[in-house]
Structure 1
Amino acid sequence: MPWIVLLLISLLSAPLHAATIPGVTTSAPPASDSKTEPSEPDLAQKKAAYAALADVLANDTSREELIEQLRQVAATPPPEPVPTLTPPPAEDDKTVLENVTTVGRYYGEQLSSRFAQLYRNITGSPHKAFNPHTFTNALTHFLMLAGMVFAFYGVIRIAALPLYRKMGRWGRKKNREHGNWLQLPGMIIGAFIIDLLLLALALFVGQILIDNFNSGSQTIAFQQSLFLSAFALIEFFKAVLRLIFCPRVPELRPFSISDESARYWNLRLSALSSLIGYGLIVAVPIISNQVNVQFGAMANVIIMLIITLWALYLIFHNKQRIAEDLLHLAERSLSFFSLFIRAFALVWHWLATAYFIVLFFFSLFDPGNSLKFMMSATVRSLAIIGLAAFASGILSRWIAKRITLSAQTQRNYPELQKRLNGWLSTVLKAARILVVCVAIMLLLSAWGLFDFWNWLHNGAGEKTVDILIRIALILFFSAVGWTVLASLIENRLSSDIHGRPLPSARTRTLLTLFRNALAVVISTITIMIVLSEIGVNIAPLLAGAGALGLAVSFGSQTLVKDIITGIFIQFENGMNTGDLVTIGPLTGTVERMSIRSVGVRQDTGAYHIIPWSSITTFANFVRGIGSVVANYDVDRHEDADKANQALKDAVSELMEMPDIRALVIGEPSFAGIVGLTNTAFTLRVSFTTQPLKQWTVRFALDSQVKKHFDRADVRAPVQTWQILPPPGTAMQQPGGVAPQPPAEPTL
């Protein structure tokens, strides 16, 4: 009976409205606010419902059925909520001009609010009664402390001055003797450390004076502490200035600056720092505390305005002179530093102007922390630049040096020294660039423009360092592999002091080609791995390279044919560098063999480049042996035995010559008469010689044959002419007797 459940639910929901039974899911909320809720039942409907429920409960069967249905409803799990899809909020894409306008408006509002706050500090601060007696007492103790601290610090610095001069002279002497170039920088840094120790001693004495000369007044002690804090900060900055300019001890001056310029800038920058420090850290807080907050704010503005105007005057008054000094310094510096110094000479005045303008605004809006921030950023910047310059200088000096291997190693590995020096120079240059990049990031971090340490330990910085380390390892192992393999090949191409002969021309050619192919393979693999490490998907590159290779192979079939033919000729040991060959109509010496062509030099000096694919047949005169086949013509009327004996005597004398006998392999072969004409017969003798020595043997044989034929009176054949009279005439002598032929043939 489902109607019983519906009746019960309607009965219970009538007086309770939104009440629910535990374990029973409620109905879904209305889809929208536009739907009307069901109206409450009236009294008659409630009475009818009560009566129906009473009838159900009075009947045992219906009551049991109602209980069972209620249990089933309680055991039914609630339906899963349907997730609602919320579209992402629409973001308006702003143009670059709108972004610039937004940023400018934001910083403009911040700047205007700061100026408004400054105006309220000057005009609306509460007034404070001025007590002349308290002010005079505090000022007296303040001046006493300042005088004693300045006097003590001045005395100990004057006492340390002879030590500084002695250190400077000793460092300069060692630098001139070129004993160790680190000694002079060591003395400069040592003098700076001594200066800091003297400052620490003065601060210790000042703290003792504060504890004993404050008249038991917390206000006086506080003002004296302000002075000691400003004294520590300002004197530390002056110590840095003395490290740079060193006006009293020129021997410890790290830069080539004249004494006049050093004193000029040290005096003015020290005065600026004193005015800034004692004005903002000491004078402004004391005026605000002892006189009035308004007067303190006005004093802050006036002091910073005077300092800024004075600084700008010094900057633009000395702009040209400092630029010229920087350019002269660049000419005397290493090429690496010269570039940075020349760039700094062009923009130094703008950087200095921006520095003092930023200091001016910072001191107006936050006079308590601005100076500390600027001084801290300045000192950190100078330290970063100094350390980066020192590290770069050391790397530059190491780059100029060269590794020298032993003579034995250079003979066995001719290119190893050059290759090691090249790798070392490349690594040091990369390290120098890395030093510059890290220094730039640290400078930005020092001025609050970039959080270097957070970047280094999180996100992109950690990933970048990891990628750089991976790339460095890949390049390192590639360089080591190439150096080892190339050195082994070059060792095989060279001879040694123990008399190991040079490899054959074929071996040299194949090893050279293998070395070049190895360089291409290692370079290609290294580039691909490096690209994959930096996040470049190399799959399209490989696919593109395959397609490009296929297109190139179809478009350059002659080149492919040249390469394949050259490879087979090399493996068949057809020719090598230094061989005498005949290729078509050309005969010359092979000077160069590449994977595409061969270079042949003729005896006339002409150099020919012949592609491998154009070579169908060729002759190589340097393959095992040489051969001499000498033919000598003798007059027909000469005795053949006499001519043969003369030839044998000439050959015998030739074979007795040691330099010629060493070139002949075996014994000569006499063929006897190998030709007969109406005027001469031909004698032949043959030799087997060393490769390319056949011409030497032939020239020497011709000389001996000429000498022995002349000695034996063996005549060479002569050519005769028969003179015939013209047709119809008879050639007769005056007596009517015909002329007789001469006894000997005439030419």
Structure 2
Amino acid sequence: MLAVVQSRHTLCRWLLISMLLCGFSGAALAVSLPAAAVAAQQTQQSPSTSQDAAEQPSIEDKKAAYAALANILQNDQTRQELIDQLRSAAATPAESSEPVLTPPDAEQEDKTVLQGLTDISRHYGGAFATQFAELHHNIVSAPHKTFNQHTFFNAVSHFLMLAAALFAFYWLICWLARPLYRRMGKWGRTKNRDRSSWLHLPAMIIAAFAIDLALLALALFTGQVMSDYLNDGNRTIARQQGLFLNAFALIEFFKAILRLIFCPRIPDLRPFRIADNRAHYWNTRLSWLSGLIGYGLLVIVPIVSNQINVQIGALVNVVVMSLITLWAQYLIFHNRRNIQHELAALADRSMRFFALFIRAFSLVWHWLASAYFIVLFFLSIFNPGDSLKFMMSATVRSLAIIGIGALISGILSRWIAKTITLSPELRREYPELQKRVNAWLSALLKLARILTVFAVGLLLLNAWNLFDLWHWLTVGAGEKTVDIMIRVLVILLFSAVGWTLLASLIESRLASDSHGRPMPGARTRTLLTLFRNALAVVISTITIMILLSEIGVNIAPLLAGAGALGLAVSFGSQTLVKDIITGIFIQFENGMNTGDLVTIGPITGSVERMSIRSVGVRQDTGAYHIIPWSSITTFANFVRGIGSFVANYDVDRNEESEKVNATLQQAVKELMENKEIRSMVIGEPAFAGLVGLTNQSFTVRVSFTTQPLKQWTVRFALDDMVKKHFDAAGINPPRQTVQVLQTGNDVQGAAGAQALAAPE
């Protein structure tokens, strides 16, 4: 027998190799089965002839044949065609002609989306129809079993005794633990009134759930002990009681989760703000629903199938699940509006991040719940035992994943709202450091919250076997994705830390305080500001390039394109380049700084802004001018070193020059006695005496050297003081006269000229 099997294996192997060599080499498109058999037999019978390289394929041909065979077997359609041809060849009568096997073409053209959907629908539709056919076969054609009434009622009596004893014991220990739950809830609510102690209530809720699970474990242990005494030494009864204990554990665990969510008897331990009547309503109905599903599928259906026959068990399964599904659909759509309103109210009370998900869930929750029970219905029909375990396990894992994800997101959201306070010394040395650190931490926590939501979504898909998370992380694309994400985060972290440190150092030089540190000069402030902006551009550009390289983008074309673009732009932006170069040299020459009073062409005003391309000047009228650096040929700066002015005063020619000079000196002396004015004047005023003479007046002069931008203040004060002293001394300003020229001996003209003479 072993020789026959080996011979068949050898025959099939050489058949496939010969077929692939002929089919894919293009020399022939068919191979005959008898020829392959003869070749195989000759190979087995005469090993000496196997040394002939001309009669057997080479190693390269065998490797090519293996690769082609792998391609055919990998594709569903070609593999099925190969199987059909082999079976057709095996069914060919001996007296008929040689069967011809044509290797299917492994190269399949790309399918359209419609064809792909059609194939998927056909595949799952066929599987669905197969399951229904198997169900029909179990109901109609399964073997009947003789019903033993005495055995059935004996098993039922022992089963009911165990169920009654276990339910009574579990109810008793839960009733004894209820005062402890009340105290835990009251203590947690009291501590939760203080916002700084918000973790006490969640801790009490989790502790109450843990105690509930411990009581369930104690009840199961007691139930197992009671089962050993109540099975009457019968294996069938013991097996049925074991089914009941398994169902009891699964259902009561799900009810414990319902009590964790709704907690109808102890509102203080309720994690959500739900009315007592609504909590009691949903806890009761969902508990009954889970009990009917669990005990119906895990206890009643197996017992009926074992004690009566498989047909009755299958029918009971269909009837029970049909009624439960209809009842569940009624509960879902009957309470759809109410739950939507309650979820909307919960969203209004929740954080903004959670409110978005809650509102989205309120719109589709009834469709999800309806699909859940429909899927459970079909799975329970095809696989009653495992389907419920899978659905309950997936449900519990989903609730746990959502709960843990919500807790982590809530903690992150609370941390986002908080700020880090640095010491006064650090805030004084680095004014913007605290603001930047809080901004980066807030962005990092928000990113962690987004990743938490993403991880929760993947875990939910994995819990329902819709996505193999472990395979994706270890073998699939997830490993590379996680690696890229980690490297991107590290790059961003280093960039943020570097920018924060450098910018803080620059801002530390720009800042001044009340502890004696002087304010930096205008030139230093301007250069540091420009350097900080250039540093931000450089760090951002380098970081973006590195990130693009890490995620797989080839940055070489980008760099080449940037170079070509820069060359093209440089020809079209000569004025811009000229502006930049001129501005750089003006800055290095310390020509002007922010706050200086300058005159650029016809514009006089203070410098408000300086960029790498232009300067902004504000006139005293409020007009703001943007002047490119390249348009500046000459400019005047009134804030470089000193300020000065020359004051000229004209008086009547008839006044005495000595008296006028003495009065001017007295006015200047009194002015210099003012400490505020004196602090603005550098050195002593210079008197020039009489510096101008006309036929109506003469001029006296005094000049001052002042602090920058203080010359106008000193000049205005001097003018006021000189007027007071000249008025007190009776010094008159020049008289304005009108002279009329006379023609001839016109007496009337002479009288008119005398009348027009200026009065004394």
Fold agreement, TM-score > 0.5:
yes
TM range (shorter): 0.7 to 0.9
Q: What residue in structure 2 maps to residue 184 of structure 1? A: 201
Name the SS for the 1:746 alignment partner.
coil
Q: What residue in structure 1 maps to residue 594 of structure 2? A: 577
| 2:529 paired with 1:512 | yes
User: For 1:693, which of 703, 706, 710 is the aligned residue?
Assistant: 710
Distance 1:740 1:589 in 2: 54
- Bigger shift: 687-696 or 660-669? 660-669
Q: Which amino acid aligns with 1:292?
A: N
**Cα 1:206–1:33, aligned 2, differ >3 Å: closer, same or farther?**
closer
Q: What residue in structure 2 maps to residue 636 of structure 1? A: 653
Give the conservation status (yes or no) of the 8 Å contact 2:738–2:757: no
Distance 1:81 1:314 in 2: 71
Q: Which amino acid aligns with 1:548?
A: L
Q: Deviation at 1:669? A: 1.6
User: For 2:380, which of 363, 385, 395 is the aligned residue?
Assistant: 363
Q: Which amino acid aligns with 1:131?
A: N
| 2:184 paired with 1:144 | no
Give the conservation status (yes or no) of the 8 Å contact 2:570–2:577: yes
Give the conservation status (yes or no) of the 8 Å contact 1:654–1:700: yes
**Cα 1:190–1:740, aligned 2, differ >3 Å: closer, same or farther?**
closer
CA displacement 1:271-328 (0-9 Å, x = unmatched): 1110111011000110011111111111111111111111111111111111111111
Q: Deviation at 1:725? A: 6.2
Distance 1:560 1:654 in 2: 52
CA displacement 1:602-643 (0-9 Å, x = unmatched): 112222222222211110000001111111112222222222
Matches within 5 A, 1:533-682: 533-682=550-699
Distance 2:187 2:59 in 1: 87
Name the SS for the 2:454 alignment partner.
helix
User: For 2:392, which of 375, 382, 398 is the aligned residue?
Assistant: 375
Q: What residue in structure 2 maps to residue 234 of structure 1? A: 251
Name the SS for the 2:120 alignment partner.
helix
Q: What residue in structure 1 maps to residue 510 of structure 2? A: 493
Distance 2:60 2:195 in 1: 81
Q: What residue in structure 2 maps to residue 3 of structure 1? A: none
Give the conservation status (yes or no) of the 8 Å contact 2:191–2:198: yes
Name the SS for the 2:311 alignment partner.
helix
Name the SS for the 1:364 alignment partner.
helix
Distance 1:90 1:177 in 2: 70
Name the SS for the 1:320 alignment partner.
helix
Q: What residue in structure 1 maps to residue 342 of structure 2? A: 325
Q: Which segments of 5 or more consecutive residues in structure 2 lack a partner in the other structure?
A: 1-21, 30-50, 72-105
Q: What residue in structure 2 maps to residue 6 of structure 1? A: none
Give the conservation status (yes or no) of the 8 Å contact 2:739–2:757: no
Matches within 5 A, 1:171-570: 171-570=188-587
Give the conservation status (yes or no) of the 8 Å contact 1:663–1:697: yes
Distance 1:641 1:307 in 2: 123
User: For 2:119, which of 96, 102, 110 is the aligned residue?
Assistant: 102
Give the conservation status (yes or no) of the 8 Å contact 1:720–1:746: no
**Cα 1:394–1:522, aligned 2, differ >3 Å: closer, same or farther?**
same
Determine what percentage of the aligned residue pairs are the same residue.
69
Give the conservation status (yes or no) of the 8 Å contact 2:499–2:536: yes
Distance 1:417 1:403 in 2: 7
Q: Deviation at 1:151? A: 0.3
Richer in helix (by share): 2
Q: Which amino acid aligns with 1:275?
A: L
CA displacement 1:230-250 (0-9 Å, x = unmatched): 000000000000000101111
Give the conservation status (yes or no) of the 8 Å contact 2:613–2:628: yes
**Cα 1:126–1:723, aligned 2, differ >3 Å: closer, same or farther?**
same
Q: What residue in structure 2 maps to residue 90 of structure 1? A: 107
Q: Deviation at 1:456? A: 1.2
**Cα 1:359–1:33, aligned 2, differ >3 Å: closer, same or farther?**
closer
Distance 1:667 1:260 in 2: 94
Q: Which amino acid aligns with 1:716?
A: P
Name the SS for the 2:225 alignment partner.
helix
CA displacement 1:512-558 (0-9 Å, x = unmatched): 11111111111111111111111111111111222222223322322
Name the SS for the 1:368 alignment partner.
helix
Q: Deviation at 1:364? A: 0.8
Q: Which amino acid aligns with 2:382?
A: F
Distance 1:424 1:32 in 2: 70
Q: Which amino acid aligns with 2:759?
A: T
Distance 2:741 2:279 in 1: 117
Q: Which amino acid aligns with 1:516?
A: N
Give the conservation status (yes or no) of the 8 Å contact 1:581–1:620: yes
**Cα 1:496–1:32, aligned 2, differ >3 Å: closer, same or farther?**
closer
Name the SS for the 1:662 alignment partner.
helix
- Bigger shift: 378-387 or 660-669? 660-669
Length-normalised TM-score, structure 2: 0.85
Q: What residue in structure 2 maps to residue 746 of structure 1? A: 759
How many residues align? The count is 674
**Cα 1:565–1:730, aligned 2, differ >3 Å: closer, same or farther?**
same
CA displacement 1:553-601 (0-9 Å, x = unmatched): 3223222222222111111111111111111111111111112221211
Name the SS for the 1:665 alignment partner.
coil
Q: Deviation at 1:32? A: 8.0
Q: What residue in structure 1 maps to residue 88 of structure 2? A: none
Distance 1:177 1:681 in 2: 87
Distance 1:619 1:634 in 2: 33
Q: Which segments of 5 or more consecutive residues in structure 1 lack a partner in the other structure?
A: 1-28, 35-73
RMSD: 2.5
Q: What residue in structure 2 maps to residue 119 of structure 1? A: 136
Over 6 Å off, 4+ runs: 31-34, 85-88, 725-728
CA displacement 1:30-79 (0-9 Å, x = unmatched): x9899xxxxxxxxxxxxxxxxxxxxxxxxxxxxxxxxxxxxxxx9xxx99
Length-normalised TM-score, structure 1: 0.87
- Bigger shift: 143-152 or 603-612? 603-612
If you compute each CA radius of gyration, which structure gives the higher value, 1 or 2? 1
Q: Which amino acid aligns with 1:378?
A: T
CA displacement 1:160-187 (0-9 Å, x = unmatched): 1111111111111111133510000011
Give the conservation status (yes or no) of the 8 Å contact 1:725–1:731: no
